[in-house]
Each structure stands twice: as structure tokens, then as C-alpha cells.
Amino acid sequence: MERKIELHESHPRYLSLLAREKLVTGFKRGLVASEGLIAHGRGECFDYLIGECTIESAKAAVNAASATLLLARYPVISINGNVTALCVDQVCQLNRSLENSAVEINLFYYTKERERLISEEFKKYGLLKIFGIDPKNLVSIPELESNRRFVDRNGISKADVVFVPLEDGDRTIALKRMNKKVITVDLNPLSRTALSSDITIVDNIVRVIPQLIECIKYHKKHSSENDLKELIEGFDNMDGLKKALEVMKSKQVPIQ
């Protein structure tokens, strides 16, 4: 029998429950891998520890990420099942706000069917061209064995900046070896992806993408190329990760 749940905005953890529901619905529709549900649970745990809100170090990372995306020659946004289920609409908006960017599908738990469903989902939200789906254009990233080794010769392969939210560590390291600048979103500040990216935003992707869009809009209007360069030079990823861990460690049991 079909399960029915009612989510009320008044529930103290409404947004978290809503995200869960999106993941479960995405899984039932075939967009999300079963392992994606586990990955989400791990993310939830870290999110709880930062108070389910955007911490200061994440705001600095969003600012540096928006400057990096704006200065990029060709930025590519890499998407997977979880990103699609949680924020397909916002990713399409982010792509439009950048003008010179592209979106590429890159699945860890690859199936042809999931790739098709995800690309159709993005098309529904107005994306005209999606990279990573035409086998003729796929090239292999050197020294990488997972399904993620295939990238599009006209997408990630050509990009100078790659935005890889909710990524696995191996590919981030491989992309760095290819001299790409890597930006990620990862609630786990200790993951290999978080540690090896140039810019790690330790926050929930559902909060990050809208802030990135706003930040890009702001910088387009108010910041010069030099301002953006200074902003990037002043950003220290390791410092941001340490600050995120400090916030997590500082959680106290409330004393009655």
C-alpha cells in the first residue's frame, strides 16, 4: 500500500524531513542510487552537528567559489543522482547565472537508465544541453578506475574549473592532477574530497546553491576582476575545514 506522510512547516526539522522525502521520491523514480540514501544519511549527521545552518566558514567558501566560477574560462557543473533529487531547479538557475558554463552528468553507480532519467529531469527544468551522455564524446581520466573516470571531451575534459558537489575523493584528486580547479560541497570536512579540493563548502547543498546564485549576482554588479582575484587569493581551504570541525566539536549537551 502507498505510504502517505504529511510534512508540516511548523515541525522543527521540517527542511531536513523535506530533503529526505525528496531523496526517497528520487530513489523511487529511479534517479537516486540506493547508496545515495546512505550518503544522504551521512550528510545529515554532519548537518546536525553544524546546527543545520550555514556557518561562517561556509559563507567565506561560497564567496570564494562564486569568484572562482565568475573568473573561469569554462566552468562545468558535475551532477549526480543526489544532486538531481535535491536541487535540479537551482542547479539549472546556477548554470544560467554563469552564462559560459555547462552541466555534465557523472555517476558513480552508473546505469544507462539512471543517466537517461537524470538527463530528462534536467531538460524538464530548461537545460538545453547536457554533457556526459554521448558515448562518442567520452574520454577517460588517467589513473582512475571507477565509473567516474569517463568525462565528456567537450565538458569536464575542457573545463578549467569543475564544480563537483557530493563527490568521491578519487576523482577529485584525479581532476586536480589534470590541473583543474575543483570546488565541492561536502558536509564532511574530513572526506578526501573535502581535503583535496581547492574550495570546499561545508554545508548542505540545498542551502549552498541559492547562496551561490545570490553571491554571483552580487559580484557581477559590484566587484571588479581584481576584487575577485583578491578574494580567491585570500581564501584558505584548510583553514575553512578546521573552522568547520571546530564548530562541530563545540556542540554541547544542553544542561537543564
Chain positions contacting ligand PTJ, by CB under 6 A = 33, 35-36, 39-40, 42-43, 46, 80-82, 86, 107-109, 166, 168, 185-188, 191, 204-205
Q: What cell does 197 get?
A: 579540493
The residue (of 180 and 228) whose beta carbon lies closer to ligand PTJ is 180
The residue (of 101 and 204) whose beta carbon lies closer to ligand PTJ is 204
The residue (of 30 and 232) whose beta carbon lies closer to ligand PTJ is 30
Residue number of the CB atom closest to ligand PTJ: 43
- Closest approach, Cβ 41 to ligand PTJ, in A, equals 8
Please, which contacts does 242-250 make with residues 24 or more away whose CB atoms are closer than 8 Å? 243/55, 243/56, 243/57, 244/50, 244/55, 244/57, 244/58, 244/189, 244/202, 245/189, 245/190, 247/49, 247/50, 247/51, 247/55, 247/57, 248/46, 248/49, 248/50, 248/189
- Closest approach, Cβ 223 to ligand PTJ, in A, equals 26
- Closest approach, Cβ 20 to ligand PTJ, in A, equals 10
- Closest approach, Cβ 186 to ligand PTJ, in A, equals 5
Whether the Cβ atoms of residue 61 and residue 200 lie closer than 8 Å to each other: yes
Residue 152: strand pairing partners: 138
- Closest approach, Cβ 91 to ligand PTJ, in A, equals 13
CA–CA gap between residue 92 and residue 213 (Å, rounded): 10
The residue (of 50 and 69) whose beta carbon lies closer to ligand PTJ is 50
Cα angle at 125 between 140 and 111, to 5 degrees? Answer: 35
The size of the chain, in residues, is: 256
